């Protein structure tokens, strides 16, 4: 099909610096004339060889997803790309997109998502570029894209009819082949190479009831195919399985605050033995047993300790990595296994070099993200399947598995307090003030505890030597407890102050106690030391997880 190509004059926008997970803004911002086009042109211009390039393209189905995909198709055709691989309906979970990039050896991929942020006309939208390894673009690439956005004067776009995204098949636009594929097939096939589906199917078929809340987000089709199809769970096991542009009016963040119905069901007297949820783009997970919540930090540690039960990890793990705010539970497992444990900044891209270099097999973040070397993104459904494989192998409830784990390794009691949409200037003033006071804290007593270290976390990548500074303020105590303060880079309005609380205990009496009760003293200390109410006007967090 012949196409007509236009070069459209434009002017830069001053707010297109990507964060830890790409560019996220209110949907209305992306709907401005030229806004999406400018950023996409800068992504395409960043490719080492734009002419003939091949990319994966898809998103989480949120409002404006289809329109954005059509725009990107027209721009790809105008910029001389050779192929786009697109999920049917414009749908691709983030881990599935990572897998497709790797499996098809493309030049990268463009993922349209604002992850766990709300969707709809008044919600959020996002776009990020993943490199040929399947992972989020590292800082050197996102900074190059940002630099290009500040000088861009024109973009190229073709005038074509819309592609039918719901029909599997190929369409040619000039020199560009647009290939619409089944969004689930390749991912489901990959999962069957990693986990014992026969064992899980038999276990679930023995009268055990599980539920999975897809939160009207991207994992609905994947979960229905895998749980209700391949694993034989009854229809209705997957809740909210139809992806909706506004996520059904909900907040697609799988945590105790936003998956309330799931939590209520799991804590009911006759609740299922296992429950889980995933987020907007399918890379996060929440794991629940009957009347038991598994923190993401504990989840990573338990999977690392039991990795060899899954066929894909029978030879053991090379190492494990966690983001700095994530609890040190995985560190204790790594030490016992005799493998390395790496502490990285927040952001999945920091795990990429370690995975590519073969230094680690499993990795995770406290923000409900866990993954492995099968892709270069965190993976919600992968984590759920890993837990099901573990439950089927051990034939013990979730709570018992955790308590046995603590008997061996001790318990890193953990929680995160989020102060959402606080005044940005106040939040920055808090961090500046606290940061200035940190150097004098080491060796002093705070709240009856002795400070072992107090610093602004910096990371030197052991593979390429790159340095990332100002990654979060840490106060560590001699008893193993920690307080960490960070400003989140995933929101689109105001600032989110995240306060991470951790306390280690090897007292068996504490294994039955509520985490928030155990952490109450250190939570009060954190609020006092950082002067949270003074700087934010908040005396309680918005969300506690």
CA-CA distance, 430 to 435, in Å (whole number)?
8
* SS3 per residue for 320-363: EEEECCCCCHHHHHHHHHCCEEEEECCCCHHHHHHHHCCCCCEE
Rg (CA), the chain: 23
CA–CA distance, 30 with 35 (Å, rounded to integer): 6
The DSSP-derived string for 23-80 is: EEEEHHHHTSTTHHHHHHHHHHHHSS--TT-EEEEEE---TTHHHHHHHHHHHHHHTT
Of the candidates 98, 297, 174, 266, which has an alpha carbon nearest to the alpha carbon of residue 277?
Answer: 266
- Active-site entry in 21, 115, 297, 299: 115
- Distance between terminal CA atoms of the chain? 53
Alpha-carbon distance of 63 to 282, in angstroms, equals 16
Of 504, 528, 502, the closest CA to residue 416 belongs to 502
> Phi and psi of 18, rounded to 5°?
-65, 145
Task: Give the whole-angstrom CA distance, residue 154 versus residue 141.
Answer: 20
Q: For 367-378, give one letter per residue: b (16+ CB within 10 A) or e.
A: bbbbbbbbbbbb
Q: Does residue 128 contact residue 111 with C-beta atoms inside 8 Å?
A: yes
Which letter does DSSP use for residue 19 in this model? B
153 catalytic? Reply is: no
Q: Which residues are CB-neighbours of 425 under 8 A, at least 6 positions away?
A: none
The CA distance from 381 to 488, in Å, is 24
**Exposed / middle / buried, residue 180 (Cβ in 10 Å: 0-12, 13-18, 19+):** buried
Among the listed residues 529, 544, 541, 536, the one whose alpha carbon sits nearest the alpha carbon of residue 427: 536
Contact 342, 334 (CB under 8 A): no
Q: Could you tell me which residues come within 8 angstroms of residue 403 by beta carbon, excluding any fewer than 6 positions away? A: 511
Enzyme catalytic residues? 115
């Amino acid at each position: 099909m012949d196409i007509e190509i236009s070069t459209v004059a434009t002017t830069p926008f001053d707010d297109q610096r990507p964060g830890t997970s790409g560019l996220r803004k209110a949907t209305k911002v992306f709907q401005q004339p030229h806004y999406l086009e400018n950023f996409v042109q800068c992504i395409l211009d960043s490719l080492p060889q734009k002419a003939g390039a091949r990319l994966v393209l898809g998103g989480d189905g949120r409002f404006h997803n289809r329109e954005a995909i059509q725009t990107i198709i027209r721009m790809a055709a105008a910029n001389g790309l050779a192929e786009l691989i697109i999920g049917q309906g414009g749908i691709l979970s983030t881990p599935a997109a990572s897998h497709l990039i790797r499996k098809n050896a493309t030049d990268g991929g463009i993922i349209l998502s604002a992850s766990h942020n709300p969707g709809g006309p008044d919600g959020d939208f996002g776009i990020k570029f993943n490199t040929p390894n399947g992972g989020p673009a590292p800082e050197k690439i996102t900074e190059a894209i940002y630099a290009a956005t500040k000088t861009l004067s024109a973009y190229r776009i073709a005038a074509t009819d819309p592609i039918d995204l719901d029909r599997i098949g190929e369409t040619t636009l000039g020199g560009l082949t647009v290939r619409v594929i089944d969004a689930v097939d390749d991912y489901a096939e990959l999962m069957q190479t990693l986990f014992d589906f026969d064992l899980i199917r038999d276990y679930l078929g023995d009268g055990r009831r599980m539920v999975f809340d897809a939160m009207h987000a991207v994992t609905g089709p994947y979960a229905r195919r895998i749980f209700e199809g391949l694993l034989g769970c009854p229809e209705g096991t997957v809740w909210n399985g139809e992806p909706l542009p506004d996520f059904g009016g909900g907040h697609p963040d799988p945590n105790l605050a936003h998956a309330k119905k799931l939590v209520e069901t799991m804590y009911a007297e006759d609740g299922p033995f296992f429950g889980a949820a995933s987020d907007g783009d399918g890379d996060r997970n929440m794991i629940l047993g009957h009347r038991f919540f598994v923190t993401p930090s504990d989840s990573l540690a338990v999977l690392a300790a039991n990795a060899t039960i899954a066929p894909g990890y029978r030879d053991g793990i090379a190492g494990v990595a966690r983001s700095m705010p994530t609890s040190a539970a995985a560190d204790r497992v790594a030490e016992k296994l005799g493998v390395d444990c790496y502490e990285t900044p927040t952001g999945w891209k920091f795990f990429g070099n370690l995975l590519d270099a073969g230094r680690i097999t499993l990795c995770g973040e406290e923000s409900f993200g866990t993954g492995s070397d099968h892709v270069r993104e965190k993976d919600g459904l992968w984590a759920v399947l890993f837990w099901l494989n573990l439950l089927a192998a051990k034939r013990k409830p979730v709570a018992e598995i955790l308590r046995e784990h603590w008997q061996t390794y001790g318990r890193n009691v953990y929680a995160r307090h989020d102060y959402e949409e606080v005044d940005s200037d106040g939040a920055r003033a808090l961090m500046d003030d606290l940061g200035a006071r940190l150097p004098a804290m080491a060796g002093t007593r705070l709240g009856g505890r002795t400070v072992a270290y107090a610093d602004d976390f910096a990371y030197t990548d052991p593979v390429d030597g790159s340095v990332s500074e100002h990654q979060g303020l840490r106060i560590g105590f001699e008893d193993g407890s920690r307080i960490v303060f960070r400003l989140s880079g995933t929101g689109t309005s105001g600032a989110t102050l995240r306060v991470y609380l951790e306390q280690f205990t090897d007292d068996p009496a504490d294994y039955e106690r509520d985490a928030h009760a155990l952490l109450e003293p250190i939570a009060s200390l954190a609020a006092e030391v950082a002067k949270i109410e003074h700087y934010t006007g908040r005396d309680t967090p918005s969300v506690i997880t």
